[in-house]
Amino acid sequence: MRILVDENIPQLSAETLRATGHEVLDIRGTERQGMFDDELWPFAQSGQRMLITTDKGFCEHRDERHFGVLVVRLRQPNEQRIHARIMAAFRQFGETDWPGLLVVMRDTVQSVYRAPT
């Protein structure tokens, strides 16, 4: 699966997803680092990539055609807790589930929204 991880996603998550066979694009350390959200969204979509972020602003795209959005929203986030929630989402949803799917992972609950077709 083609994935774009936002700058706020732990490096461990990007590496783990790569190790499990996903094509992960991490913009940290590239000229795209620091992209504004209104640039990042079309960049992810043009590359047909699922987006993983902690930025709830991307939820506004839930009714658009997209390749999947995973938003991690924790009360006291740290790298290990963010990584754990990302991995939980990938255990729950398979590659074919993600197109059109928005998942918001919170501390103990999650919200799932499927874009209308």
pLDDT of residue 14: 97
With pLDDT > 90 as the criterion, what percentage of the chain qualifies? 88
What is the model's pTM?
0.96
Q: What does the alpha-carbon distance between residue 59 and residue 76 come to, in Å, rounded to a whole number?
A: 20
| Fold topology of 2-114 | Rossmann fold (3.40.50)
Residues 61-74 have pLDDT tens digits of 999 999 999 999 99
The amino acid at 20? T
- Torsion of Cα atoms, 96 then 97 then 101 then 102, to 10°: -120
- Torsion of Cα atoms, 58 then 51 then 48 then 15, to 10°: 170
Q: What does the alpha-carbon distance between residue 82 and residue 61 come to, in Å, rounded to a whole number?
A: 22
Residues 19-62 have pLDDT tens digits of 999 999 998 888 888 888 899 999 999 999 999 999 999 999 99
